[in-house]
A and B are shown apart, each in its own frame.
Chain A
Amino acid sequence: MAFKTSDGDIAAVLATMVHAPEFAASLTSGSRFKDPVQYVLSALRLAYDDKIVLNTAPVQNWFNRLGEGLFNHETPDGYALTSASWSGPGQMMVRFEVARQIGSGSSGLFKPDLPNATDQPAFPLIQNALYFNGLRQTLRPTTLTALDKAISPQDWNTLFLSSPEFMR
C-alpha cells in the first residue's frame, strides 16, 4: 500500500513497516523459535559471557548439524524464517544433542586451530548472575522441576539449554 501510494519511496515503505504492530511484536523476546544460528550463539554467549572463543570449528559443526551451515542453503530463497521450519522431530533431537555438547564442556572452543595448541581451561557456566537475576524468573514450573532433578552441573546445563524457554 505504502509502496503504491508513495510511488516506491523506500523511506516511506520502511517507515510503514517499522511502525507496524507486527514488527513490534516480532521484537518481543521469546516470541519466536530460535533458528540454529541464534540458538548456538545464544547458548555460547550465556555459557562463556565475554570469554573469547579461540576456535570456531565446533560452532560451524553445530550449525551444519542443525541444518543452517554457512552458505549451505540449496535453493535461492535462503534459510527459513518461520519457526516451524526448525522445530521438526529430527531437528529437535539434534538440538538436544548439541545442547548436551555445549553444556558438558568446552568442546574444543578454546583450543586454537594451530599445531601443538593446548586447550585453554574453560567451562560453560550457565548458572550465572544473568540466570539468577533474570532468566530463572521466566521459567515455567515444569522446567524448574526438571532442573531440580539434575545430577551434575553438566546435566543441569544440558537440561537448561534443552528447555522450551531457551528455544525462544
Chain B
Amino acid sequence: MNRRDLIKAFAAIAPLTVAGRVWAAPATDARLLVVFLRGAYDAANVLVPVSSDFYYNSRPTLGIARPDAGNPNGALPLGPEWGLHPALRDSIFPLWGKREIAFVPFAGTMDDLTRSHFETQDTIELGQSASGTRDYRSGFMSRLATELSRAKPIAFTEQLPLMFRGKSQIPNIGLGNVGKPGVDDRQAQLIKDMYAQSNLAASVSEGFRVRDDVYRSISEEMTAANRGAVSPRGFELSARRIGRLMREQFNLGLSTSAAGTHTSTKGRRQDISRTGSANLAARLQAFRRKSVRRVGAIPSSS
C-alpha cells in the first residue's frame, strides 16, 4: 500500500479515526497546522530513550538521568520507554498530562543516517526516501494539498518552503511584518484587469485576495491593540495571527521557526529547548483559544 492509498483509506474511514478528522475536510471544521521547528537540537535529549542502556553508555555525562521524583534534573516520565527533558516541565509536559500532545520519534527519518540536520530537514520536507533519487519539486504538504478535496492551504512564511513545493500553487504570506500593502486598491484592480485574460489570472486574483484577507484580519487585531489590549510580540504575535487565520480562512497551514542552533554545552542547550518549547506551547495555547483542534509539530533534529 503506498502513501496515496493510505490517505484515501483514511478519508474513507474518516468517522472512525482520530486522524480522519484531519483528512475528511467536508462538513467539519478540521484544521491541520504543521509547525516545522528548523534547526538543530539533540533529539535524544529532548525525547529521552530512558529504557535504553545504549543511550546511557553513549552519553555518560551529557545524558539526561532516568525519571526520579527526587532529581529535578532527571527526565520527566512519559512511559516506560521514553522521558522528556526537564526544561520542558512547564511548557510541553503539562500538555502530555492533558493528552493534548503526542510524540512520534523518528518520523520521516527512518532511512536517514546522514547525521546532517540540513539533509534530514530536506528528507522530512520532501517526505521521500533518503535512498535513491529524489524529486526536489515535490514536498509532502504539497502532495497532501493535492490529495485533499477541500484543502485551503497556506504557508505562513516569507517564501514557499520545500514542504509546499509541487504541482499545486500554494499561497504564502509572511506574518512577521504585515503592513499596509504598498500596492493600493486602485492599482490592485488595474493589475487584476491586466491579467484577466492571461493564464496567471487565477494566481494574481488569489494573491490579492489572500493579501487583503490577511491584512484585514491583522488590522482588526492592531486596532484592538491600540485600544489598550496588550500587544503581543514575536512568536506569540505570529501564533495569534496564525490561530486567527486558521480559524477564519484556511484549513491546511504551515509555519516554520528556528528551534535551536548548534551548541555544545548542556546549559545552553537547555535554554534553547526551553525557548523553542515555550514558543511551541504559546502556539498551542493560541490555537486552542481559537478552537483549532489539532496541531502537528515536526522538530527537525540531528
A interface residues (Cβ-Cβ under 8 A, vs B): 65, 67, 74-77, 80, 84-85, 87-93, 96-97, 100-101, 140, 142-143, 145-146, 149, 155, 158-159, 162-164, 167
Please tell me if the beta carbons of A158 and B183 are within 8 angstroms of each other in the complex: yes
Please tell me if the beta carbons of B196 and A142 are within 8 angstroms of each other in the complex: yes
Q: Given A89-B204, A90-B172, A145-B193, is A97 in contact with B183 using a C-beta cutoff of 8 Å?
A: yes
Please tell me if the beta carbons of A146 and B194 are within 8 angstroms of each other in the complex: yes
Name B190's contact: one of A65, A67, A85, A149 (CB within 8 Å): A149
- Interface: B62 (CB within 8 A): no
- Interface: B35 (CB within 8 A): no
Please tell me if the beta carbons of A146 and B203 are within 8 angstroms of each other in the complex: no
User: Separation in Å of the A32 CB from the closest CB of chain B?
Assistant: 13
Apart from the given pairs A77-B136, A100-B182, A101-B182, 19 other A-B contacts in the complex at a CB distance below 8 Å: A75-B136, A75-B162, A87-B169, A88-B170, A88-B171, A88-B172, A89-B207, A90-B155, A90-B172, A90-B207, A91-B160, A93-B208, A96-B187, A97-B183, A100-B187, A140-B197, A146-B190, A149-B190, A162-B187
Please tell me if the beta carbons of A67 and B159 are within 8 angstroms of each other in the complex: yes
- Interface: B42 (CB within 8 A): no
Please tell me if the beta carbons of A159 and B191 are within 8 angstroms of each other in the complex: yes
Q: Hey, which chain A residues are within 8 Å of B169, CB to CB?
A: 84, 87-89
Please tell me if the beta carbons of A163 and B187 are within 8 angstroms of each other in the complex: no
User: Separation in Å of the A141 CB from the closest CB of chain B?
Assistant: 9
Please tell me if the beta carbons of A97 and B160 are within 8 angstroms of each other in the complex: no
B interface residues (Cβ-Cβ under 8 A, vs A): 118, 122, 136-137, 155, 158-160, 162, 165, 169-173, 181-183, 187-188, 190-191, 193-198, 200, 203-204, 206-208, 210-211
Q: Hey, which chain A residues are within 8 Å of B136, CB to CB?
A: 75-77
User: Separation in Å of the A114 CB from the closest CB of chain B?
Assistant: 28
CA distance A85 to B203 in the complex (A): 12
Interface of A is mostly: helix
Q: Hey, which chain A residues are within 8 Å of B170, CB to CB?
A: 88
Q: Given A88-B169, A93-B207, is A74 in contact with B122 using a C-beta cutoff of 8 Å?
A: yes
CA distance A119 to B169 in the complex (A): 40
Residue of B nearest to A84 (CB): B169
Q: Given A87-B200, A90-B210, is A162 in contact with B191 using a C-beta cutoff of 8 Å?
A: yes
Name A146's contact: one of B122, B158, B193 (CB within 8 Å): B193
Q: Hey, which chain B residues are within 8 Å of A100, CB to CB?
A: 182-183, 187
User: Separation in Å of the A139 CB from the closest CB of chain B?
Assistant: 9
Name A164's contact: one of B122, B171, B198 (CB within 8 Å): B198
Please tell me if the beta carbons of A142 and B193 are within 8 angstroms of each other in the complex: yes
CA distance A143 to B194 in the complex (A): 5
CA distance A92 to B190 in the complex (A): 14
Residue of B nearest to A148 (CB): B190
CA distance A142 to B210 in the complex (A): 24
CA distance A75 to B194 in the complex (A): 35
